[in-house]
Structure 1
Amino acid sequence: MKNKAIYILTISLLLIFTQICYVYANLLPAVWKTTGNVTVDGVEYEWIDTNGVCYISVKNVNDATVLNVPSTVNNGSPVTVIRNFKKLTTVKEVLLPDTVTEIEAEAFSGCTSLEKINTPNNLKTINEKAFLNCSSLKEISFPEGLTFIGDNAFQMCRSLTEIILPDTLSELGEGAFSYCSSLQKVHLPEGLKEIKNNVFYHDNIKVINIPQSVTSIGARAFSYCSWFDHIELHDNITELGESAFCGCALKEIHIPAKVSVLSDNLFKNCDFTSIIIPEHIKIIGAHTFSGCYYLKNVEFLGSIDELGDGAFANCLALTDFTLPYGIKKVPDNLFYYCSELKSVTIPDTVTEIGGSAFYVCRNLKKINIPNTVEVIDSSAFSSCMSLKKAVVPSSVQTFGSSVFWGCSALESFIYTGNANLPSDMFSGCKSLKLALIKDNIAYGNLSVYARFAFSENEGEIEITSSENVDDVFIAPGTVYILDEKKYKIVGTDTRIKGDVNGDNTSNNLDAAILLKSITEYSELSLEEEIRADVNDDGVVDISDAVKLSNLLNI
């Protein structure tokens, strides 16, 4: 009985399944396909006709150098799609019939001897990699009516010198003409909205138009077009992608009014001598201008919210730089290897100086750090070999390692804040004569700290604590010889704040000297600068003059 029930259930399910299949078979459109072969001029082709769309491929080229593709096949159907002509290394010329509307993906890829191909009047679509590595292709015309060129369609067509794209083209795929090393002249159509990623990557373009319809230029679109020295960017453009012009020979640029972000590596390794950053730019990405070896002048017309790491690294011609108001951090590696940089103005919006920010700025002689800075990261001023004086405001709460590593000309370090000083902070500082610090060292006492922190100093150094040194190992005024080095460790700093000229009294003459140094930018000696820092913030400025005037009741 049980077996009979199972049998009936099985038969019922089979009937239901059969009915479902019948219904779906009647709902789906009929698909018919015929195939065949055709020979023209000794070349064998195979074709597939699917619902009236006829695809054609080469079956046997028989060493032919010219292919005359038929317009119809045996059943009378017109040839509409070019499918597989890959790696025909003997073919130099292809003649396509006007019946063709589409060239499929990779259709002619690897045809390294192909020099010439006509494009049919009815051609609408060239798919991805259609002519990939057709390295001998010297010219190709594009008919009006063509609407689509796919990704990497003409990549590595190294013999192309000029392309004129029709006004009907609405989409140009990523990398479409990348690595076309002979391509020098390009006409883009009005109506194209986007220049996509890598489109002309590593070409040698000299002349190109940017249509008014274009609103976006993609990442690496023109990267390493090494002869590309001029481009007109209109104000309809809203986005410039990462590395879009990296490695170009651009000497000047207009930044479109609707662009607010200069993306990472955007103008890296370009040939600018000067650049104006308009006020609508709010973000500058990492390495945006790095490697611009000829860049001498940078002007910011407005405030900047964010400045990326290494934005001006390896700009070897920079000598003076005023950082934009609004940034909170001098980014990591910002001026990395800017070997001619002599002076930098840091705004009082900055609270942090990033790691290696001024690394190997060999000609940087002086740096004014505003009293808003709280953090100086590792190696911030490493190998600044011309830096003689470092005055760090008391606002700094944290020092990274090796901040002044390799500053071989550094003679004085002045810091009256409470942050611990790492023991490797002054490695390679062979010329130090004065370190004015509190007894706030990373470990041990001042004499132990001196043994490690100043072990590479070549002469006598005065280490003056701004507070009494309460340490049984240190007697104020004693010269200690540690590892054959001399260290003069002094207890309390006895200098009188405001006594600029050092005559042991603070008076109107000191106020006049201080004011002159600020208004006329006259240079104070190291001793004078220490005494002139009346408010003890590590910086001599107008606030010190005001405080001294108040103390003297001037």
Structure 2
Amino acid sequence: MFVKDTLVTEIKANDLEGLTSIKKYALPCCNSIENIELPNTITNIGKGAFTGCLNLKSVTIPDNVTVIDDFAFSGDQELETVNISENSKLEIIGVDAFSLCYKLSSFLIPDSVTSIGSNAFIYDNLLENVIIGENSKLTTIGRSAFYSCKALTSIIIPQNVTLIYDSAFVLSGLKKATFKNPNGWYTSYEIDATSGVTISSENLSNQFTAAQYLTSNYYDRYWFKS
């Protein structure tokens, strides 16, 4: 991207001061950009806003952002760092929001997040640290959200989660899954099911068994908590 004949490699907060949202497909495939720092006035990052920015390495998400929309950072193959603070007001991580970010190794899910969309982190092969707090409001983990995250060996399923879509952790490296509330879970092939195959709280209290169920035994079903 050029501004007044100068190649721009960085977007700073004061460059966008006053904006309240990043429009959809604002800067797709902008390969000169390496670092993005968004101002605190931003509350929404639109669909595909920075998708396919092949040299983007770092992005800072301000605390007032509530939605990272579908495909916002999808295909940013060099993205290593996403700075999100524990005080973030983020609620929605959209479909494919960070898919195909091959170098992303750590991601903080703020307590305010309620939904992780389908394919949100799919094929993020180096993602090994997904940080989820004790006071998480997360309720839904989408289909294939962490599909093929081969470095991911452990995950916390917060107590407020009531729906895990099929294949959420398939082909990941998951070895331990900690269910903060292991009671009342059942699985079904139907999204509108009100009953199904019950999974005992005893089995889900075992981190290794729980991980095996998510990645193998019941990977292709919806998980519900009554």
TM class by shorter chain equals: 0.7 to 0.9
Partner of 1:266: 49
Q: Answer yes or no: is 1:286 the counterpart of 2:70.
A: yes
Partner of 1:323: 109
- Choose 1 or 2 for highest CA Rg: 1
Structure-2 change in CA distance of 1:306 and 1:396 (3 Å): farther
User: Which secondary structure does the structure 2 equivalent of 1:325 belong to?
Assistant: coil
Partner of 1:229: 9
CA contact (8 A) 1:375 1:396 kept: no
CA contact (8 A) 2:67 2:90 kept: yes
Q: Answer yes or no: is 1:254 the counterpart of 2:37.
A: yes
1:378 deviates by 1.1
How many residue pairs get matched? 196
Partner of 1:388: 175
Residues 149-204 of structure 1 deviation map (CA, whole Å, 9 limit, x = unaligned): xxxxxxxxxxxxxxxxxxxxxxxxxxxxxxxxxxx8554xxxxxxxxxxxxxxxxx
CA distance in 1, matches of 2:185, 2:146: 20
Partner of 2:196: 420
CA contact (8 A) 1:374 1:395 kept: no
Q: TM-score, normalised by structure 2?
A: 0.73
Larger RCO: Structure 1 or Structure 2 (Cα < 8 Å, ≥ 6 residues apart)?
A: 2
Partner of 1:361: 149
Aligned amino acid, residue 304 of structure 1? L
CA distance in 2, matches of 1:307, 1:240: 15
Aligned amino acid, residue 282 of structure 1? T
User: Which secondary structure does the structure 1 equivalent of 2:36 belong to?
Assistant: coil
Partner of 2:96: 310
1:147-546 residue pairs with structure 2 within 5 A? Answer: 187=4, 207=6, 229-231=9-11, 233-249=15-31, 250-270=33-53, 271-301=55-85, 302-347=88-133, 348-384=136-172, 386-392=173-179, 393-395=181-183, 397-399=185-187, 401=189, 420-421=196-197, 437-438=199-200
CA distance in 2, matches of 1:237, 1:314: 28
Unaligned runs of 5+ in 1: 1-183, 188-205, 208-226, 402-418, 423-436, 439-464, 467-492, 498-523, 528-554
CA contact (8 A) 1:376 1:396 kept: no
Structure-2 change in CA distance of 1:245 and 1:290 (3 Å): same
**Percent of aligned pairs sharing the same letter:** 28
CA contact (8 A) 1:373 1:395 kept: no
Q: TM-score, normalised by structure 1?
A: 0.32
Residues 46-91 of structure 1 deviation map (CA, whole Å, 9 limit, x = unaligned): xxxxxxxxxxxxxxxxxxxxxxxxxxxxxxxxxxxxxxxxxxxxxx
Residues 295-330 of structure 1 deviation map (CA, whole Å, 9 limit, x = unaligned): 122121322122211111111111121112211112
Structure-2 change in CA distance of 1:396 and 1:289 (3 Å): farther
CA distance in 2, matches of 1:234, 1:381: 37
